[in-house]
Structure 1
Amino acid sequence: MTETPQPAVDQIWQDNDPRSYGRKVRIVELNDTHATVELHQPRHPVSSAKPGRRTRIRLDRFKPTSTGYRFIGDAPAA
């Protein structure tokens, strides 16, 4: 079993909450308590959230629990 890495800029994480099935975010900025993330792909085809939308998430939520996020990988180079 691999360990979950510390959140870092340009990583992709997936929301584990079943209400947000498939929602992926990319970390664009970090501070002491929060990560600013950008929606990487819409969670559902009829979702009103647009790719590129930014929001803040507490760093303690970046763990693979039912209400957390799981690490997917590094963002592809642009």
Structure 2
Amino acid sequence: MNTVDTPTPAPGQIWQDNDPRGYGRKVRIVEIGDTHATVELHTPRAAGHQKAKPGRRTRIRLDRFRPTTTGYRYISGGETR
């Protein structure tokens, strides 16, 4: 999926971290604000790789929801507007 095919971030969508240090971390968007999305960790903890517990919530800037090495790529779910 390229940038043209990437949907606008929306609640309920699953996105995967492209950073190789993230070990394939997936997050689910809970809500969208003006500049940030509130997400919760969706991937179960991998052996020794992930320190955060599933369900932990954090905020991510909306401009990071794009398929680059420092961004996130769309996996599934939610409204794809």
Normalization by structure 1: what TM-score? 0.88
Aligned-partner Cα distance in 1 for 2:20–2:45: 10
Equivalence map 1:4-19=2 (5 Å)? 4-19=6-21
* Residues 1:64 and 2:67 are matched in the alignment: yes
> Is 1:40 the counterpart of 2:42 in the alignment?
yes
Alpha carbons of structure 1 residues 19 and 43: separation in structure 2 relative to 1, 3 Å: farther
When the two structures are superposed, what TM-score results if normalisation uses the length of structure 2?
Answer: 0.85
CA-based RMSD of the aligned residues comes to 1.5
Structure 2: gaps (5+ residues): none
- Number of the residue aligned with 2:76: 73
Displaced runs of 4+ in structure 1, greater than 4 A?
Answer: none
- CA shift in 2, pair 1:61/1:25, >3 Å: same
Contact 1:12 1:24 in 2 (8 A): yes
> Structure 1: which 5+ runs fail to align?
none
Greater strand share, 1 or 2?
A: 1
C-alpha change, 1:43 and 1:70, in structure 2 (3 Å) is farther
2-structure distance, mates of 1:14, 1:43: 14
**Identity across the alignment (%):** 73
Between the aligned partners of 1:18 and 1:36, the Cα distance in structure 2 is 22
